[in-house]
Structure 1
Amino acid sequence: MSLHLSRFGSLAAMAVVGGLVLSGCAGTAEPDTAASEPAGSSDAFPVTFEHMYGETVIEEAPERVATWGWGATDAVLALGVVPVAIPSSEYGGGDNLITPWVEDALADLGAEDPILLDNSAFELSVEELLAADPDVLVASYSGLTQEEYDAVTGAGIPVIAPEEALWATPWRDVITDTGRALGLETQADDLLADLDQQIADAAAENPEFEGTTIAYADDDVDTFYLYLPADPRVEILEDLGFVSAPAVTELDSGESTFYTTVSSENLDQVVADVMFTQAEAQADLDAFLESDRGQLIPAVAAGAVAPIVGEENVAAVSPTALTLPWLLPEMVKQLAAATAVAQG
């Protein structure tokens, strides 16, 4: 029903195989020669980051910030800073390859579109990045390879790399890491507190979510994906009060840290009160839910399904500083309807 290897956590499987790209066709715009004022306090520097490739020290507040991966662009913008370069969003980004929530944030800040770093192959073009003349690259939640990291740092640009593994940094850490990198740690803490309050308010308004078991699933070209508790999208569901159904971990084959696949003959074992799912089009969703294989899933047969439909919405399910407030009301609406069915 959707692109499993898309812009958010699911694309990790493709990102880790990408090599270094030193030439590209996108993002060739000349960098703005007028340096902006640093956003953060100079008193916060130097600041040190430990990550999977070692240690990064940022000596002074950056003036030109570039981002890579998922969530860093949103965190930078949510903190009131306009990045000079961001990754293109082939999934959910529309014709201009910029997601609608990023467009909204740029408009709110009265900013022009940043340079787009070609992300179509999930490989960082170091040439494009250097053309933007950044002071720092924030790539906390990304598929940044060792080779890419070495090339960027070798050019004298400090990099905030993933903490422990590719595509594994918690979404909240992306926000706090970004705040520290920009000298806006207090503002990042306030931003995160506000986002957490939005989730807490939604949970309080829907006490029926508490303790209800849920499975987050995606049917994609006859492959059925079941997302595990380590996935940040599942984490949001649990923050709302849902509990990952025991069947989710029982069916885990160990093939990935954030998802497992389930064969058609085992779909009846996907036992949960509610199924949360996604589809790029309503027709795709309906085709699966009405299919014989879809009806094997108890929650589907009962009609207790909470769908997110539309490419932009599917992309937004992965939480960031901007996507969470953008999609949370629709998520809660669908979850409330499905829970009402499940609880009779």
Structure 2
Amino acid sequence: MLFKLQINWQARAVLVLLLMLVVSGCGAAANGSGGAPSGQNSSSPAAGESAQPTAEANAAGDTEGRTFKHAMGETVVPPNPQKVVVLDNGALDNMLALGVKPVGAPSIISVDDGFATYLTGTEGITNIGTVEQPSLETIASLKPDVIIGIKDTQEAIYEQLSQIAPTVFTEVGGAQWEANLAVHAAIVGKEAEGKKLIEQFDAHIAELHAKLGDSLNTTEVSLLRPRKDRVSVYLKPSFTGGVVERAGIKRPAVQSKDDDFNFNATEEQIADLDGDVIILFGRESEQEYFEQKIKSNPLWNTLKGVQNDRVYVASWEVWLSGHGIQAVNLMIDDLTKFLVKA
């Protein structure tokens, strides 16, 4: 009996020792020993691991920030960051919807264009350049608490950004707009607000479905972006196609693909552009080919959408480059206008 008690006591002692070692290791990691400095990235995610950012509290609690595992590694973000710089329009859109005004944000294409015209409340935000070419000097001058960007677009400057402030990258922009909203909300401590925005978006879709009635299951929508030398047909993996898919809208059979963001068509493939409803969302500077080679072609007039006078032009800022919760709600507004017959 004494032997059994002695063994049990020894086993418990070993367990206590192991627990102390684990706690000690966690504390060292939280304080930065043996890892990357606070606010900097550690190694990038291993192959096969999810690159979608996730957040967890540090061992010492939220008072020291939260560690975000993201597309470029891990970054500690301070709690309730006040000075936020965003590097794409989707993050700007989302931050404003969450009630957070960034100190810096980019224009979509040209600095001279300012911010997307569909956004309100951008007064006082410093323009940091464009999505493709943000100014590191301007960003540094703002002394941000956190920088939010996209690996797909800004990977080359990630290390430089990380030297300015803790930087979190999502993998891509618009194609993962809903997941990105959750990340943006978490970074600024607005998770509840982010979830509410999605709930409101779902209610918006439900309203659209109620207005469409049976036509929801019979109306096929073609999504076309006129470009300088072709027309791009946008598919499910794209931002535009993904939102329309999320809204439960049918697509023509040739456009119901998920193997790429889009496919290109010229005057030889006009039949592939057809749909009961055709939505165009090209930039003003890229209309010449469409006007001269597509609309002037007799085959264009054979399309159902053309014959039924159901060809609509939508804002490219919203449908192509919006990438945020405000943009997707405006897309549902447009779908309601385009699809619901008076």
User: Same fold, TM exceeding 0.5?
Assistant: yes
Return the letter of the residue paired with 1:160: V
Structure 2 counterpart of 1:239, from 223, 231, 246: 246
Is the partner of 2:180 in helix, strand or coil?
A: helix
Offset, 1:86: 0.6
Corresponding residue number in structure 2 for 1:64:
83
Is the partner of 1:138 in helix, strand or coil?
A: strand
Mapped to 1, the partners of 2:329 and 2:175 lie a distance apart of 20
Structure 1 counterpart of 2:116, from 89, 99, 109: 99
Return the letter of the residue paired with 1:315: E
Corresponding residue number in structure 2 for 1:152:
161
Residues 140 and 169 of structure 1 are in contact (CA less than 8 Å); yes or no, is this contact kept in structure 2?
A: no
Deviates more, 1:204-213 or 1:293-302: 293-302
Corresponding residue number in structure 2 for 1:230:
237
In structure 2, relative to structure 1, the CA distance for the partners of 1:98 and 1:334 (3 Å cut) is: same
Structure 2 counterpart of 1:322, from 308, 314, 326: 326
Task: Spell out the pairing of 1:223-302 with structure 2 (5 A cutoff).
Answer: 223-248=230-255, 257-279=260-282, 290-292=295-297, 295=300, 298-302=303-307
Corresponding residue number in structure 2 for 1:13:
none
Post-superposition CA distance 1:243-296 (Å, at most 9, x none): 23221256x9x7xx3111123222224453332222556x97876774216617
Offset, 1:238: 2.3
Q: TM-score, normalised by structure 1?
A: 0.70
In structure 2, relative to structure 1, the CA distance for the partners of 1:287 and 1:336 (3 Å cut) is: farther
Mapped to 2, the partners of 1:328 and 1:244 lie a distance apart of 16
Is the partner of 1:242 in helix, strand or coil?
A: coil
Offset, 1:299: 2.9
The count of aligned residue pairs is: 276
Return the letter of the residue paired with 2:82: E
Q: CA RMSD in A?
A: 3.1
Indicate yes or no: 2:310 matched with 1:305. yes
Post-superposition CA distance 1:31-84 (Å, at most 9, x none): xxxxxxxxxxx9597333333222222242211111011310111111111111
Offset, 1:335: 2.8
Return the letter of the residue paired with 1:51: H
Is the partner of 1:206 in helix, strand or coil?
A: helix
In structure 2, relative to structure 1, the CA distance for the partners of 1:278 and 1:130 (3 Å cut) is: same
Residues 89 and 323 of structure 2 are in contact (CA less than 8 Å); yes or no, is this contact kept in structure 1?
A: no
Return the letter of the residue paired with 2:312: P
Is the partner of 1:105 in helix, strand or coil?
A: coil
Indicate yes or no: 2:147 matched with 1:137. yes
Structure 1 counterpart of 2:125, from 110, 114, 126: 114
Larger radius of gyration: 2
Residues 135 and 158 of structure 1 are in contact (CA less than 8 Å); yes or no, is this contact kept in structure 2?
A: yes
Mapped to 2, the partners of 1:224 and 1:293 lie a distance apart of 16
Mapped to 1, the partners of 2:81 and 2:311 lie a distance apart of 42
Residues 306 and 335 of structure 1 are in contact (CA less than 8 Å); yes or no, is this contact kept in structure 2?
A: no
In structure 2, relative to structure 1, the CA distance for the partners of 1:83 and 1:298 (3 Å cut) is: same
Residues 105 and 127 of structure 2 are in contact (CA less than 8 Å); yes or no, is this contact kept in structure 1?
A: yes
Post-superposition CA distance 1:288-319 (Å, at most 9, x none): 7742166176334433534124xxx2211244
Return the letter of the residue paired with 1:266: Q
More relative contact order in 1 or in 2 (CA 8 Å, sep 6+)? 1
Offset, 1:199: 2.2
In structure 2, relative to structure 1, the CA distance for the partners of 1:294 and 1:130 (3 Å cut) is: farther
The percentage of aligned residue pairs carrying the same residue is 20
Mapped to 2, the partners of 1:96 and 1:295 lie a distance apart of 33
Mapped to 2, the partners of 1:89 and 1:188 lie a distance apart of 23
Mapped to 2, the partners of 1:199 and 1:247 lie a distance apart of 25
In structure 2, relative to structure 1, the CA distance for the partners of 1:288 and 1:193 (3 Å cut) is: farther
In structure 2, relative to structure 1, the CA distance for the partners of 1:220 and 1:277 (3 Å cut) is: same
Corresponding residue number in structure 1 for 2:21:
none
Residues 86 and 104 of structure 2 are in contact (CA less than 8 Å); yes or no, is this contact kept in structure 1?
A: yes
Offset, 1:236: 2.2
Return the letter of the residue paired with 1:66: V
Corresponding residue number in structure 2 for 1:336:
340
Mapped to 2, the partners of 1:241 and 1:304 lie a distance apart of 23
Mapped to 1, the partners of 2:291 and 2:87 lie a distance apart of 35
Post-superposition CA distance 1:18-38 (Å, at most 9, x none): xxxxxxxxxxxxxxxxxxxxx
Structure 2 counterpart of 1:126, from 101, 113, 136: 136
In structure 2, relative to structure 1, the CA distance for the partners of 1:96 and 1:273 (3 Å cut) is: closer
Offset, 1:170: 1.1
Deviates more, 1:185-194 or 1:208-217: 208-217
- In structure 2, stretches of 5+ residues that fail to align are 1-60
Mapped to 2, the partners of 1:306 and 1:51 lie a distance apart of 41
Greater fraction helix: 2
Mapped to 1, the partners of 2:307 and 2:222 lie a distance apart of 14
Residues 86 and 116 of structure 1 are in contact (CA less than 8 Å); yes or no, is this contact kept in structure 2?
A: yes
